């Protein structure tokens, strides 16, 4: 069964997922809004705002916010992505009223103190510098920039020092009003939670909030291309990407199986061929990123610079081979078992449940039962998995990024040449 949705008059949706026998709850407030909703001059503002609300909200100082939650044994956190911003609280059952009240204050009545804005610009500048200094973080930004060049999806979620510079209290308050609009919010709680109580708390905390118009993101366009950055480090960091299915595409379950078979674990094709058989990489794995109207299949690997191009060619060959010939029966069975197990394991995490309920409601309009998702993952056959791969290749575009010693640079173009020459 799926959890029912209660919608407030202003459009905010409330989803309760009571579970017997537990003494804690997980609460998630998910907002349909993030870095993808920004224009270039406001790049990073959503993430910056998420930082600022924790510096004071309502009658609470920065210290009060965490002390009120932690004083009752709970935890509070937040995250900003391209399409969503989320606030999360974990606590004992009796703390649900406090959790809803604190989260509501963060998004509805942030203090946005000018002195804190100045200080936080320095903090985020350090975060930006840290990401740049971390090769296996920065290489993902490089690949994303090539995949979605000139678009919000291609810019770092953190923004840049220059794009954050114009922020002042008035500008940030206006951005908060647009971003944290109740009709684009879902409040979900899982665990020791009473549905009627949660709805009443939501009504009291959010009921008088007024929805604000927002500009929808432009449709995503996977561009592709190669990026290299030479640094004097020991290992080359590589990311390869292909355009993939969006969150609403019926081929998505088959694509998820394709990703798992390609590089989802130690039994995957890439791990066995690149690491075990040829020793080309210590770490290599495939992943999928799914957006409302776009998607990415990616491969990350670390390799010695002098073998980076060889690894790129092998990666391309494995992608093409799986797309052309499909998986074996054993590979398909393993992938289905792994994804199914992961799905039901996450069902045993209150935080995962609450987060999933909120996000699915934003994307699909309602939560999707775990059993339904499992059935969809188990349905595709080998031919459907192969078709998912062929569809990704049919665009004729790929993005590649290489960060490391200069000798590794040719791997970026080697991936694209091998991929489409083989295809």
Give the residue numbers annotated as catalytic, written as ranges.
50
Give Cα 397 to chain centroid, integer Å: 23
What residues contact 340, with CB distance under 8 A and at least 6 apart?
374, 377, 378
**b/e for 25-62, b at 16 or more Cβ within 10 A?**
bbbbbbbbbbbbbbeeebbbbbbbbbbbbbbbbeebeb
């Amino acid at each position: 069964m799926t959890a029912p949705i209660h919608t407030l008059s202003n459009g905010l949706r409330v989803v309760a997922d009571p579970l017997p026998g537990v003494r804690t709850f997980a609460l998630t407030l998910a907002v349909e809004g993030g870095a993808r909703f920004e224009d270039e001059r406001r790049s990073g503002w959503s993430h910056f705002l998420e930082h600022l609300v924790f510096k004071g909200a309502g009658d609470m100082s920065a210290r009060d916010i965490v002390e009120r939650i932690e004083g009752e044994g709970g935890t509070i956190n937040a995250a900003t992505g391209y399409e969503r911003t989320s606030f999360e609280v974990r606590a004992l059952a009796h703390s649900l009223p406090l959790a809803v009240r604190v989260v509501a204050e963060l998004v509805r009545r942030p203090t946005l103190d000018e002195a804190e804005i100045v200080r936080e610009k320095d903090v985020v500048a350090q975060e930006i510098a840290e990401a740049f200094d971390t090769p296996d973080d920065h290489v993902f930004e490089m690949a994303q920039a090539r995949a979605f060049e000139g678009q919000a999806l291609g810019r770092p979620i953190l923004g840049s020092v220059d794009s954050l510079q114009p922020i002042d209290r008035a500008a940030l308050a206006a951005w908060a009003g647009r971003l944290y609009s109740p009709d684009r919010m879902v409040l979900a709680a899982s665990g020791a939670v009473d549905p009627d109580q949660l709805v009443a708390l939501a009504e009291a905390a959010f009921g008088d909030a007024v929805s604000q118009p927002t500009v929808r993101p432009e449709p995503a366009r996977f561009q592709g291309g190669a990026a290299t950055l030479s640094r004097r480090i020991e290992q080359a960091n590589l990311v390869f990407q292909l355009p993939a299915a969006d969150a609403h595409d019926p081929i998505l379950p088959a694509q998820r199986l394709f990703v798992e078979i390609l590089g989802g674990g130690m039994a995957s094709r890439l791990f066995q061929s690149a690491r075990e058989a040829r020793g080309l990489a210590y770490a290599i794995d495939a992943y999928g990123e799914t957006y409302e109207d776009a998607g990415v299949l990616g491969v990350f690997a670390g390799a010695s610079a002098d073998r980076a191009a060889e690894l790129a060619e092998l990666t391309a060959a494995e992608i093409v081979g799986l797309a052309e010939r499909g998986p074996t029966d054993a590979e398909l069975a393993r992938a289905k078992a792994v994804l199914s197990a992961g799905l039901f394991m996450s069902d045993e995490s209150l935080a995962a449940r609450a987060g999933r309920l909120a996000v699915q409601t934003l994307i699909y309009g309602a939560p999707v039962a775990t059993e339904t998702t499992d059935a969809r993952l188990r349905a595709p056959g080998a031919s459907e998995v192969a078709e998912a791969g062929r569809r990704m290749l049919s665009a004729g575009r790929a993005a590649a990024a290489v960060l490391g010693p200069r000798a590794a640079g040719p791997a970026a173009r080697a991936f694209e040449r091998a991929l489409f020459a083989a295809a």
